[in-house]
């Protein structure tokens, strides 16, 4: 006798009531998926996730009371087995990179079809990483670590410090670097201060020049 697998338990976190209700209604029509809870913000989302312990969370990035990136990181830290599927209108580099850095396994746009949503939910539940159309190529480029481009240029730097130097050399200011890496601006500033000390650069401009000479800051 063939065993019947349990449905994928899903929680939807989105502060837009019309979209959230529509997503919940859609999930109820999909085979093998059960929507066990919904929330309209980061705080309520954390409570609903803790209560229902779903397999997958559908997470928007713009929440009325906070950031979906921060909420994603907190949820994954609390339950490393949890699959977070970002469903958002944001398709810029910073948003994609920050979400994946925070631990999201999937990233699709709100324009995705019901079939795409269904496939993404099942893939994320199975531990796979699924990126929607138009997102995958960007993510591959963004996730290529700076260390692979210039591994011997600054051996005294940590991987994080090298990432920050690479982004600074590419022309990003501290705020943009913070968004890209899902860090606070203060943390980026502290890392950059250590970078200047370690590479013995007197200022940001000289650090950029040396980084670009070493092959950082490129596409």
Structure tokens given for 109: 């746009």
User: Of 141, 170, 204, which residue constitutes the final position of a domain?
Assistant: 141
pLDDT above 70 for 3: no
CA distance 57 to 85: 6
Structure tokens given for 122: 């099942």
Nearest to 212 by CA among 135, 145, 153: 153
Question: What tens digit of pLDDT does each residue of 29-56 get?
Answer: 998 999 999 999 999 999 999 999 999 9
Structure tokens given for 147: 């260390």
User: Of 113, 141, 169, which residue constitutes the final position of a domain?
Assistant: 141
Other CB atoms within a 10 A radius of the CB of residue 29 amount to 9
Range of the domain at 113: 8-141
Q: Which of 62-71, 89-98, 114-123 has the lowest mean pLDDT?
A: 89-98
The CA-atom distances, in angstroms, between 140 and each of 121, 129, 136, 137, 145 are 21, 12, 6, 5, 10
| Total domains in the fold of the chain | 2
pLDDT above 70 for 218: no
Question: What tens digit of pLDDT does each residue of 94-125 get?
Answer: 788 888 888 999 999 999 999 999 999 999 99
Residues 126 and 32 occupy one common structural domain: yes
Confidence (pLDDT) at 2: 46
Residues 50 and 118 occupy one common structural domain: yes
Structure tokens given for 124: 């994320």
pLDDT, mean of residues 81-103: 88
CATH number at residue 168: 1.10.10.10
Nearest to 37 by CA among 14, 63, 11, 4: 11
Angle (deg, nearest 10), helices 68-78 and 93-102:
20
Residues 134 and 176 occupy one common structural domain: no
Confidence (pLDDT) at 145: 52
Q: Is the pTM of this model over 0.85?
A: no
Question: What tens digit of pLDDT does each residue of 173-208 get?
Answer: 999 998 888 888 999 999 999 999 999 999 999 999
Structure tokens given for 168: 């600074």
Confidence (pLDDT) at 216: 82
Residues 73 and 114 occupy one common structural domain: yes
Residues 128 and 153 occupy one common structural domain: no
Residues 186 and 111 occupy one common structural domain: no
Question: What tens digit of pLDDT does each residue of 123-169 get?
Answer: 999 999 888 876 766 666 555 555 445 555 788 888 888 889 989 99
CATH number at residue 22: 3.40.50.2300
Question: Would you say residue 109 lies in a domain?
Answer: yes
């Amino acid at each position: 006798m063939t065993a019947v697998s349990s449905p994928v338990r899903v929680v939807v976190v989105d502060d837009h009531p019309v979209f959230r209700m529509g997503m919940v209604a859609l999930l109820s029509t999909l085979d093998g998926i059960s929507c066990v809870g919904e929330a309209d913000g980061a705080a309520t989302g954390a409570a609903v996730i803790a209560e229902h312990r779903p397999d997958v969370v559908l997470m928007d990035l713009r929440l009325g009371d906070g950031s979906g990136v921060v909420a994603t990181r907190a949820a994954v830290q609390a339950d490393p087995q949890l699959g977070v599927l970002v469903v958002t209108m944001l398709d810029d580099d910073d948003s994609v990179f920050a979400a994946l850095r925070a631990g999201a396994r999937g990233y699709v746009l709100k324009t995705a079809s019901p079939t795409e949503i269904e496939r993404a939910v099942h893939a994320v539940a199975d531990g796979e990483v699924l990126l929607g159309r138009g997102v995958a190529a960007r993510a591959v480029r963004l996730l290529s670590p700076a260390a692979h481009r210039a591994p011997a240029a600054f051996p005294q730097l940590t991987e994080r410090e090298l990432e920050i130097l690479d982004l600074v050399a590419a022309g990003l200011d501290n705020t943009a670097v913070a968004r890209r890496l899902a860090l606070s601006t203060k943390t980026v500033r502290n890392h950059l201060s250590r970078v200047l000390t370690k590479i013995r650069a007197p200022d940001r401009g000289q650090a950029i020049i040396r980084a670009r000479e070493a092959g950082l800051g490129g596409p």
